[in-house]
Amino acid sequence: MNNNFDIGIIGAGPAGYTYALHASAQGKSVVLFEKKQIGGVCLNKGCIPTKSILHSSEVYKQILNAEKFGVTTQNVTLDYSKVLERKNKTVETLRKGIELALKNAKVTVINSEAKIKDKNTIVECNADIYNCSKIVCSTGSSPKIIKGLEFDHEFLLSSDDILNLASLPKSILIVGSGAIGVEWARIFNNFGVETTVVELASHLLPLADAEVSKRLERIFKTEKIKFFTQTCVKEINNKKITLSNDEILQPEMVLVAVGRTPNITDKIDGVTYIGDVTGEIQLAHYAIKQAIEDADGIKFEKGLTPSVVYGTPEIAWVGKREQDLEPDSYKKSLVLLSAIGKAHCDGQTDGLIKILSQNGKIVGAHIVSSEASSLIQQITIAIQNGITVDKLKEVCFPHPTYSEGIYDALFKL
């Protein structure tokens, strides 16, 4: 076997497999190492399986509340094993699609652990040596461990553990209210699990615009998701949890979702690092853009990487938050979803569309709405291309849609 390649990649998550496909399309020989499963965390333990379970939970909740839409249902039951079965099938289908794409691109895939010896040498676990003109490290990240809340994988669970619960608990405490914590809070709540969230920061979803965080807190109260901010776990004694505010909880399980740690010890000069392993923005689409930027030379605005939190309603933002801007240096417009016809048709009126502008151009947008994950891209394109507010006003938005909220917001700037 020829062990000489133009490109050697360790880690076949979104960053790694994207790089492999784009490099191969340029006619380069590529070897891709993956010790676990093609697709990385995103496909196997993150984005895809979580959204599959989330969708099942929302279907279940919609059916339980179908009468308000004129639909009468009886004897609605939940078979969580079928939820997991669907999740696993979805992941498998997508994984096979990536594996086929790599095969068709003639990427050499080696399912084995590998280590970087130097900037041009990869050593596979069987001691086989691969010489590469360029090495790319995309080894991803793992759930962050914090002192006192170390995972035991039975009571104290990671986001990996939570995906494969054989059955749902009656109650759960979620530590951390980032995207992972918020999405799982919604999942468990939809399935009828008593859900409590603890967040050390002053608001839920602390990376979001403060107004969005407050709206999320209002939604959680409406949905009867209990939460504590500016609070942490003080003590765990025989599965009894005492919080820093002296609240005592006895959940069946605890999900610790306080972020992720890059899978790396020391960086090697001359090696390219992309994806979660860089410790930068730990999002799959950011990793994909990093891969394309390095492989194809197509640059992207890192500061305009959209963030999305899934569930009902979706939450999405891009650009500047209001708390990032100096007072009196910007204009702000706010449209409530209760003013949008489509929101009333869908029964999804709790939300907002907020746009921030400076000197006639949009600098940030924050959306709490159905379809927010798609709506935010309209704003991202506008910001990145310097399209003025006045120019956007010339665009025709369809009716009735949630996107009309963006159009209405433009006229308030």
List the beta bridge partners of residue 361.
358, 388
Residues 6+ positions from 248 with CB-CB distance below 8 Å: 240, 241, 242
CA distances in angstroms from 399 to 175, 228, 319, 342, 395, listed in the order given: 41, 40, 27, 8, 13
Backbone angles phi, psi at 235, to 5 degrees: -155, 145
3-class SS string, 17-37: HHHHHHHHHCCCCEEEECCCC
Q: What is the mean pLDDT of each run of 10 residues along the chain (413 residues)?
A: 90 97 97 95 95 97 94 93 97 97 97 94 88 96 94 96 94 97 98 98 97 98 97 94 96 96 93 96 96 96 96 97 96 97 96 97 98 97 97 97 96 95
Q: Which of 118, 82, 102, 87 is nearest to 33 (CA)?
A: 102
3-class SS string, 342-359: HHHHHCCCCCEEEEEEEC
Q: What is the pLDDT of residue 312?
A: 96
Q: Write out the two tokens for 326.
A: 């100096």
Cα–Cα dist 28/21, whole Å: 10
Task: State the amino acid at position 336 in one-letter form.
Answer: L
Cα–Cα dist 331/362, whole Å: 9
Cα–Cα dist 408/399, whole Å: 12
Cα–Cα dist 23/16, whole Å: 11
Q: Return the DSSP state at 183.
A: H
Output the pTM of the full model.
0.95
Q: Which of 164, 30, 182, 170 is nearest to 105 (CA)?
A: 30
Cα–Cα dist 116/129, whole Å: 10
Strands of the sheet with 233-237, listed across from one edge? 233-237, 240-243, 248-249
Which domains does the chain show, CATH number per domain?
4-142+260-296 (3.50.50.60), 156-256 (3.50.50.60), 306-410 (3.30.390.30)
Q: Write out the two tokens for 109.
A: 């895939």
Q: Write out the two tokens for 18.
A: 């994207």
> What is the Cα 106 distance to its own chain's centre?
30
